[in-house]
Structure 1
Amino acid sequence: MIRKAFVMKVFGDCHEEYKRRHDEIWPEMVEMLKEYGARDYSIFLDPTTNRLFAYLVVEDEERWSKSAETEVCRRWWTYMKDVMETNEDHSPVVLELKEVFHLE
């Protein structure tokens, strides 16, 4: 299993909407995430900076990377583009973090 962490940014006036959309995440999105090996996925918000901290465990890096090519992922990105910073293809602007410590 591979632990991954990254940060993204939600717009300051969209905190509640971002949470609402995730509270109502599409079943097909959940299914796809699990199919591509995501486990133990959490997103945390720092409301003072609008930063989102995401943590998940994936089974295989290559398999996980292919999740971005799915139709449901692309639809989700388009759905979320009005509440967070995104790239031209509507994917979220992501800064991957390097693990420097882990305690089991």
Structure 2
Amino acid sequence: MIKGFKMKLYEGQEKEYEYRHNQLWPEMKDMIHEYGGKNYTIFLDKETLTLFGYIEIEDEEKWKKGADTAINRKWWDYMADIMETNPDNSPVAVDLDMVFHLD
């Protein structure tokens, strides 16, 4: 299953966002894989500071359970100062509807 979603950076945080993801904690990588995520890619629209995420997941319910892990909550807290977040520090993320796919 493929998921697409968008998020939003705060102005001036482009380099910091990229830096933090290039230093992604091993425990976070493990959690993503443990909860069925692979081929995870994030793109940035520099004009709007909109992030577009693409990830392949095994199962939607399994993937959602990863949000409740301690390492994921720690990551949210770490990222909250550079992007739009909800009151629990989860990123404001909007799922996108797939309109075309070609293998």
TM-score bracket for this pair, using the shorter chain length = over 0.9
Mapped partners of 2:100, 2:25: distance in 1: 33
Say if 2:8 is the partner of 1:9: yes
Say if 2:66 is the partner of 1:41: no
Query: What residue number does 1:18 align with?
Result: 17
Alignment root-mean-square deviation, CA: 0.4
Query: What residue number does 2:98 align with?
Result: 99
Q: Once the 2 structures are TM-superposed, how far is the Cα of residue 60 of structure 1 from its aligned partner?
A: 0.9
Q: Once the 2 structures are TM-superposed, how far is the Cα of residue 63 of structure 1 from its aligned partner?
A: 0.4
Query: What residue number does 1:53 align with?
Result: 52
Query: What residue number does 2:72 align with?
Result: 73
Q: Once the 2 structures are TM-superposed, how far is the Cα of residue 103 of structure 1 from its aligned partner?
A: 1.1
Query: What residue number does 1:86 align with?
Result: 85
Identical counterparts, % of pairs:
50
Q: Once the 2 structures are TM-superposed, how far is the Cα of residue 78 of structure 1 from its aligned partner?
A: 0.2
TM-score by length of 1: 0.98
Query: What residue number does 2:63 align with?
Result: 64
For 1:59, the aligned partner's letter is: E
TM-score by length of 2: 0.99
CA deviation map 1:16-65 (0-9, x unaligned): 00000000000000000000000100000011000000000000111000
Query: What residue number does 2:29 align with?
Result: 30
For 2:33, the aligned partner's letter is: K
Equivalences, count: 103
